[in-house]
Amino acid sequence: MTTTVRLGALAQLTLVTALLLLSPATAQPGDVAGAKDYPGIGRFTGSVITGYVAKDFDAARLQAAPFKDGKAADERRLEGRIVRIAYRTAPGPSILEVSRNFENQLAKQGFETLTACDTDACGGIPFTEAIDILPVPQMWVDGFEYRYFAGRKAAGGREIYASVLVSQNNQQITAQLTIAELGAMENRMVNAAEMAKGLGDKGHIALYGIYFDTDKATLKPESRPTLEQIAQLLTGQPQLNVFIVGHTDNQGSYDYNLDLSRRRAEAVAAELARSYRIAPGRLRTAGVGLLAPVGSNATDAGRALNRRVELVAP
């Protein structure tokens, strides 16, 4: 009888431990629109995603060692695909508990520890100021109480870095996971001649040099070179009218993506009319969301191909 009770207690302990581990990498109720966990890592159970930014090419700062004499001892600037995900838990767990779960999961995925430290050992407030953190209220950091982890692994012939900063705000634990998949920037520039050829040969051409922040329809300054080439094409061919069509990947709901793609196409047309004096009547817009993929939405690479703006000949 005693043995049965002891086995039952062990089973209960195993179940509780499993519930505290990171949950599967899927979007969950309460997450910000378009957010998802990083594949293979997941989240601490009961957390919601409060901030999410994924860029095909960006830069991130990683501290591979604690500060020494108040200054960075091993700061690395990482370039490639950068994913930043901020989480918030309900009151209950400790900073250490949440951090350890992330650290253990990263170790299972093959990440070797570069550094793992707590507030004073890391370098206090100056240390947190030397890390790229999503802005408040997406991510909250208490410079007097936090834990930081950084790791590295090699996979598929490339380096991947991960960092986790865990802190708290009003008894809720906040955490930011940053993944940097190192790689060279893909040349996405298409000039006016190539646009004309694509329209003539296929009736459409995909443009990957037009940039928006995640879940927004505001053009970023980096889009200017491609916009200039569209304007050059249209100025050089006064008889040419085009459809500007927005496309998204499958992250988020159907209706959300349909609306986002439409607004992005409209933003491109508005900028061409405002800054480049292209007659609005020559620019018709549409958004088709996720309905015309050119890559598999099951992979990051495929989703990157699907997020695009196309010029289409009438």
Radius of gyration of the chain (CA): 23
Residues 207/311, Cβ–Cβ less than 8 Å: yes
Average pLDDT for residues 285-298, to the nearest whole number?
Answer: 94
Banded model confidence at residue 310, pLDDT cuts 50, 70, 90: very high
Q: Which two tokens stand for residue 147?
A: 């834990």
pLDDT score, position 187: 65
Kindly tell me if the per-residue pLDDT of 259 is higher than 90.
Answer: yes
Look at residue 9 in the predicted model and tell me its pLDDT: 45
> Residue 56's pLDDT is what?
85
pLDDT band at 124 (very low <50, low <70, confident <90, very high): very high
* CB burial of residue 143 (10 Å; 0-12, 13-18, 19+): middle
Distance of CA 102 to the CA centre of its chain: 18
* Model pLDDT, residue 24: 56
Residue type, 31: D
Q: What is the mean pLDDT of residues 48-53?
A: 97
Please give the pLDDT value at position 26: 67
Long-range contacts of range 96-101, CB-CB < 8 Å, 24 or more positions apart?
A: 96/147, 97/20, 98/44, 98/166, 98/173, 98/175, 99/147, 99/149, 99/164, 99/166, 99/175, 101/20, 101/21, 101/22, 101/44
pLDDT at 172 over 80: yes
Confidence (pLDDT) at 25: 61
Q: What confidence tier does 115 reach under pLDDT thresholds 50, 70, 90?
A: very high
Which parts of 90-155 fold into alpha helices (H)? 95-108, 119-122, 124-129
Mean pLDDT of the chain: 90
Query: Locate tokens 């005693």: which residue?
Result: 2
In the block, residue with structure tokens 């995925």:
109
What percent of the chain lies above the pLDDT cut of 90?
77
Question: Which of the residue ranges 6-15, 172-181, 214-223 would you say has the lowest mean pLDDT?
Answer: 6-15
pTM: 0.62
pLDDT digits (tens, 9 = 90+) for 204-216: 999 999 998 878 9
pLDDT of residue 6: 41
Out of 2-6, 153-157, 257-261, which region has the weakest mean confidence (pLDDT)? 2-6
Q: What is the mean pLDDT of residues 309-314?
A: 96
Q: Find tokens 């790229």 and name the residue.
A: 132
The pLDDT score that the predictor gives to residue 19 is 41
What three-state secondary structure class fits 286?
strand
Alpha carbons 22 and 40: distance in angstroms, whole number: 10
